[in-house]
Amino acid sequence: MDVAAPCSLGCAQPSPRRAVPEREEPTVSIETLNHTILRAEGFACPSCVRTIEKQVARLDGVEAVKVHFASSRVEVVHDADRAPLDTLVSAVAKAGYPATPTAF
């Protein structure tokens, strides 16, 4: 065990050094993230919202997903190289709901 300077409380015994955990590098650079909005059709309850969110969140490259029940919007923050638009649309379709890209 490494030892450092005497303890901050002033006692003569040196305090042990604490290991500082190394920071993990982010898996995706912020510069490569896209914010995509899809419009989904056919869902009628909060359970449907959770189904879509779970399906899209499973995709490699998806950092965040939020489904807005009232507006039928699906907002996705993703790395477009690892989770391109057609993959997002397919994931929503796999959950059972057709989706199309939209500007807002």
Encode pLDDT of 23-59 as tens digits.
455 555 566 899 999 999 998 888 999 999 999 999 9
**Beta-carbon count within 10 A of 46 CB:** 10
Q: Give the class (CATH, top level) of 23-101.
A: alpha beta
Distances (CA, A) of 103 to 24, 35, 38: 34, 11, 8
The Cα 66–Cα 94 span in angstroms is 17
Stretch 65-89: mean pLDDT: 96
pTM for the full predicted model: 0.69
Let me know if 62 is exposed, middle or buried by CB neighbors in 10 A (0-12, 13-18, 19+). Answer: buried
